[in-house]
Amino acid sequence: MMDALSVVSQLRDLASEPQNREVIVQDQGCLPGLVLFLDHKDPDVLLATLQTLRYLAEMSPNIPIMKNELGMMVSLENLMGREGPSDITALAQEVYGILSAPAYPVPHTYERERRRKSQFFINSSNKKAKSVTLHIQGLNSTDQRGLCEEALLKVRGVISFTFQMASKRCTVRIRSDLSTESLASAIAATKVLSAQQVVKNEAGEEVLIPLNTSGVKVQQNSALPDYLPEEESPVQEVDRAISRTTAKEDSSGSWLNAAAGFLTKTFYW
């Protein structure tokens, strides 16, 4: 059963993969639905919506479409001016700033590097995997984010990762046999970043756990993206994600189509 949080969380996960961003923005139901989610009362829905928009805005051709979407800029301004969680306010400001900034052409070499990295992201349904949330000290700009990306890309056993820049968080999906200390060691090797694990205590409060990086051996990928054995490649789940190779051609029956239908039925009357 779909609800607002599950839909926007799935859209956020899909938007984290660059090859899906154009499809999501061009869909007639998803972008208007995300704008409406910016007025949602649930802070978890708001945060996931802003994270989704932040991913979508990383693709420069999407920016004018998003900026001109009815209610987008007004809703972001409202979030920037309201009292609430600081991570929501900061992320709203970040998205608003990106959409408001003058358009500059993206260097060809950067686009080529982004495409190379996009091949690294795979469907998150790997059954022999776990997710780890890291707080990364020094994650203050896109330059530091790039360093962190490069460090994680080199670690054998990392499946995918997404960033929440406003809160300096990175959620990493890894093979179950990969230690969290290996991630921290790879990040510490950048010399400008350090990582702590984010966990919840018995009271449900988030706490930061220091990670030992001394003497930790990091097994590196020898080639990208073929770093996982074939038998451990993820199983496709049609009802949970867009197929990366048929996202544009096969919209009927895809999860995105179902999500757009949910948004249309929920918000349009």
Determine the 3-state secondary structure of 181 from DSSP.
Answer: helix
Environment class of residue 111 by beta-carbon count within 10 Å: exposed (0-12), middle (13-18) or buried (19+)? middle
Q: Using the 3D structure, point to which of 191, 210, 229 is the last residue of a domain.
A: 210
Task: Answer with the one of 210, 239, 257 that is the final residue of a domain.
Answer: 210
Domain presence at residue 145 = yes
Last residue of a domain, one of 85, 102, 119: 102
**93 and 164, same domain (yes or no):** no
Measured distance CA(53)–CA(80) in Å, rounded: 15
Amino acid at 192: V
- Per-residue pLDDT at 101: 87
Domain boundaries, position 156: 129-210
- Regarding whether 86 and 149 lie in a shared domain, the answer is no
Work out the end-to-end distance of the chain between its first and last CA atoms, rounded to an integer number of angstroms: 21
pLDDT of residue 112: 45
Within a domain: 254: no
Q: Is residue 241 part of a domain?
A: no
> Do residues 95 and 14 share a domain?
yes
pLDDT score at 163: 83
Q: Residue 138, SS3?
A: coil
**Same domain, residue pair 133 and 79:** no
Q: What is the pLDDT along the chain (269 residues), one digit of tens a residue?
A: 467 888 888 888 888 888 888 888 988 778 888 998 898 889 999 999 999 999 999 999 999 999 999 899 999 999 998 877 788 998 999 999 999 987 655 444 444 444 444 434 444 444 467 888 999 999 988 889 989 988 988 888 887 788 888 888 898 888 888 888 989 999 999 999 999 998 888 887 888 888 887 767 676 655 444 344 433 434 343 343 333 333 434 433 355 666 666 665 554 43
Q: Are residues 67 and 152 in the same domain?
A: no
User: How many domains does the structure of the chain reveal?
Assistant: 2
The CATH number of whichever domain residue 64 belongs to comes to 1.25.10.10
Whether residue 180 sits in one domain with residue 90: no
- DSSP states of 9-38 as a string? HHHHHHHTSHHHHHHHHHSTTHHHHHHHHT
8 within some domain: yes
Q: What is the pLDDT of residue 92?
A: 92
Residue 138 has what pLDDT?
Answer: 92
Claim to verify: residue 15 and residue 98 sit in the same structural domain: yes
What is the pLDDT, as a whole number, of residue 231?
38
| Same structural domain, 52 and 136 | no
Domain identity same for 72 and 157:
no
Q: What phi and psi, each to the nearest 5 degrees, are found at residue 217?
A: -90, 125
Q: How many whole angstroms separate alpha carbon 243 and alpha carbon 249?
A: 10
CATH number at residue 160: 3.30.70.100
Same domain for 71 and 161? no
Q: Which residues contact 87 (CB under 8 A, 6 or more apart)?
A: 47, 164, 166, 167
Query: Do the domain assignments include residue 222?
Result: no
Does a structural domain hold residue 223? Answer: no
Is residue 259 domain-resident? no
Task: Give the up-direction half-sphere exposure of residue 54: CA atoms within 13 A in the CB hemisphere.
Answer: 21
Confidence (pLDDT) at 262: 61
Tell me if 98 is assigned to some domain. Answer: yes
26 with 80, same domain: the answer is yes
Do 94 and 169 share a domain, yes or no? Answer: no
Predicted confidence at residue 105, as pLDDT, reads: 53
